[in-house]
Chains A and B, each alone.
Chain A
Amino acid sequence: MSLEFRDILIRQGDFALRADLTVPPGRHAVIGASGSGKSTLLSLIGGYLAPERGQVVWQGRDITAMAPGKRPVSTLFQSHNLFPHLTVAQNVGMGLRPDLRLDRAQSMAVEAVLDRVGLAGTGARRPGDLSGGQQSRVALARVLLRARPLLLLDEPFAALGPALKADMLALLAEVAGDATVLMVTHDPADARTFAPTTLLIEDGLVHPPRPTGPLLDNPPPGLRAYLG
């Protein structure tokens, strides 16, 4: 159950990112200075950009050329995780069938996950009618329903307040189950509470996961400067 990057090189103009490491199952933070390539790494795993060379391998299978929707991946983006013109139930149901032709059991599954994230009875509403925290819950409900083994989080809760964010992280830990999680974050506290290990991205290189606590207690110079 591991995610491998084999000799990956991504180039975008002057920017280059290299990755050659194995990510074991579990929850990992992804930390690095602004512009270091955290989102780029997630885009690579999600399939939104192709590497110049190298492979992304999931459980021994090369997924480098796989279409994003076929990958064993769910992603929570920084923004635009929901379609504003669809109802909450439709947004969640899309995780099961993109054409929204849900049978009875599937509709009930949608109701069930909404209930589980604390949004029972909101299925007919639109995202625009919900608070920011509730919108995050809808996105989490869809993650729960899709039950993909790899979960990518690109700072989806950055806009929420501390208490709400703590709630979301707790809910996330529940929702994630035994999925492998990569969470981009700017907040060392989030990394400590949520992720036992951390991938540091520095100088265009993705470093293998290291225990989060010691890394943050005694950061290398570049990270120290960034954390302040």
Chain B
Amino acid sequence: MAARLQLGHLVAAALAAAILGTLAAVAWFAGGLGALSEWDWRAVRFTLWQAALSASLSAALAIPVARALARRRFRGRGLLVTLLGAPFILPVIVAIMGLIAVFGRNGVVNEAMRAMGLPEIGIYGWQGVILAHVFFNLPLSVRLILQGWQAIPAERFRLAASLDFAPRDVARHLERPMLRATLPGVWLSVFLVCLTSFTVALALGGGPRATTVELAIYQAFRFDFDLGRAATLGLVQIALCVAALLAARAIALPAGFGAGMDSAMPIPAPRGWPLVVDALVITFAAGFLLWPMVSVITTGLPRIPALPPEVWDAAWRSVIMAVISALLSVGACLALALTIAQGRARWVEVAGMLPLIASPLVLGTGLFILLRGAVSPQQMALPVTVAVNAAMALPFGLRALIPAAQALRADYERLAMSLDLRGWARLRHLTLPRLRRPLGFAAGLAAALSMGDLGVITLFASDQPTLPLKLYQLMNSYRMADAAAASVLLMALSFGLFWLFDRGGRLEP
């Protein structure tokens, strides 16, 4: 009965020490806020505004899509649900090429606008940043909300049917409580992703009206070699994230749903108008998400055989880094979630969410400050990238795992205790089988995020580039044919890694 020291406590302590230590280095190095110019403050305002707008749009649009997917069964649904993970795990730099192909000056959308005599939409500037953020985060939001829908036991829907609930009553008693529990977390996830947005701003934004704080850090670090100003901006970034987290704590309401007995009972699906609306919603969402990807694939696929060997070297390097990063991340995630589910050590949950307050570039800046005496930037580039990517994936994994771990505990803890199910046997026969879906999802997310990440590594000029960095270098040297092919390769690898892990979690044992 006594609270034992668990792996989760150790992981949490190590994580907290690493992140807080790094942030302390940043704070030590930072100048006063007076060091920031009007330009920097404009970046702060833009960052907040675009993150709020992106999060609201993503969450609002995701609800009808998730509901349609939760209650409809059709050919290709499984594939679509898997693909929904794609834009989020699609390497940002690849997705940007796709968005430019569809929404850019010569894209189909603007051609249609011109044909109808309407003004063109610009992809560069704030519109592009918002568009890209919704493109990346709508699918993540749908998946998170869909998981919430599927977490409502089928028995509840059956009970609702037996009580002759109208759709309105189902919404009130089952769906809205679930949404109330899920949406704040979803909105916050998207808001925080956008708050620390780097690659999108780098590629589509920039300039006085579309520069994020994260991009400003990069510019201070790489172009101005002004470590003090980079650190100060880092502190501002941390303050933004902390404020957002504190605000969000007030909203989140957990819902106490029990367990279902795993019966394969579909959620009730009304016919008539709701069916038509659901079909339109699914079609529109699928089109918005697939079109840019198809554009990139058709351009780049035929050119893959002609890729130079250094691209393949970079690809292989990235895959190894991604797998290490995913295993690190999901292992830490599981240990943390199991401890958090016991509800006795609040600080463990706080430690698990710490990566949210430390953006990749802030961590990169801090680690550079800490390590620069001992190791060269060349040497630290790859290990730092692996570690930062593993940490960055943690909050997403935890969001999926903590509720599942809590349900596991509420439903089966006493039974497991009564049978003396402990240690390895418990992990193998209870924890892993019951948590395999969120675990697979978390591992897939971590691997793909790491695979496609073009963030912290840009701080360290490396002669051992990852594939996204190699792709960025190809684009910058205008080798567009190779860039398109490398995009497809990178997309395939990211998607493949995600698919392997996520699929692994959803297979019936």
Contacts and interface: CB of A to CB of B under 8 A. Distances in A.
Interface of A: 46-50, 65, 67-70, 73-75, 77, 80-81, 83-86, 90, 94-95, 98-100, 126-128
Given A83-B415, A126-B262, A128-B261, 18 more contacts: A46-B418, A47-B1, A49-B1, A68-B414, A68-B417, A68-B420, A69-B421, A80-B259, A83-B430, A83-B433, A83-B434, A85-B262, A85-B434, A85-B509, A86-B429, A90-B429, A95-B419, A128-B263
Contacts of B421: 69, 94, 98
B245 to A, nearest CB: 30
A48 B414 CA distance: 7
Given A99-B425, A99-B429, A127-B261, A83 B418 contact: no
B414 A46 contact: yes
A100 B420 contact: no
A99 B424 contact: yes
Contacts of A65: 1
Given A46-B414, A70-B420, A75-B418, A84 B429 contact: no
A86 B411 CA distance: 15
B73 interface: no
Nearest to A81: B415
A128 to B, nearest CB: 5
B41 interface: no
Nearest to B413: A48
Contacts of B433: 83, 85-86
Contact of A69 (B263, B412, B422): B422
Contacts of B259: 80, 84
A80 B417 CA distance: 13
Q: Is the interface of A mostly helix, strand, loop or mixed?
A: loop
Given A99-B424, A99-B429, A74 B418 contact: yes
Contacts of A50: 1
Nearest to B428: A99
A47 B262 contact: no
B412 A98 contact: no
Contacts of A68: 414, 417-418, 420
A181 to B, nearest CB: 16
B6 to A, nearest CB: 15
Nearest to B420: A69
B429 A47 contact: no
Nearest to A85: B433
Given A47-B1, A84-B261, A84-B262, A69 B426 contact: no
B442 to A, nearest CB: 19
B415 A98 contact: no
A79 to B, nearest CB: 8
A84 B424 CA distance: 19
Contacts, number: 73
B496 to A, nearest CB: 27
Contacts of A67: 1, 417, 420
Nearest to B264: A128
A47 B428 CA distance: 24
Contacts of B425: 98-100
Contacts of B411: 80
A46 B417 CA distance: 9
Interface in B298-354: none
Nearest to B414: A48
B397 to A, nearest CB: 21
A2 B420 CA distance: 23
Interface string B119-150: 00000000000000000000000000000000
Contacts of B263: 128
B429 A94 contact: yes
B412 A83 contact: yes
Interface string B388-419: 00000000000000000000000110110111
Contacts of B422: 69, 98
A80 B418 contact: no
A46 B430 CA distance: 20
B262 A98 contact: no
B452 to A, nearest CB: 33
A168 B493 CA distance: 56
A139 to B, nearest CB: 10
Top 6 A-B residue pairs of the complex, sorted by shortest distance between their CB atoms: A69-B420, A99-B425, A68-B417, A98-B421, A84-B262, A85-B433
Contacts of B434: 83, 85
30 contacts: A46-B414, A46-B418, A48-B414, A48-B417, A49-B1, A50-B1, A67-B420, A68-B418, A69-B421, A75-B418, A77-B414, A80-B259, A80-B415, A83-B412, A83-B430, A83-B433, A83-B434, A84-B262, A85-B433, A85-B434, A86-B429, A94-B419, A94-B421, A98-B419, A98-B422, A98-B425, A98-B426, A99-B429, A100-B425, A128-B263
A98 B429 contact: yes
Contact of A128 (B1, B262, B426): B262
Nearest to A84: B262
B157 to A, nearest CB: 16
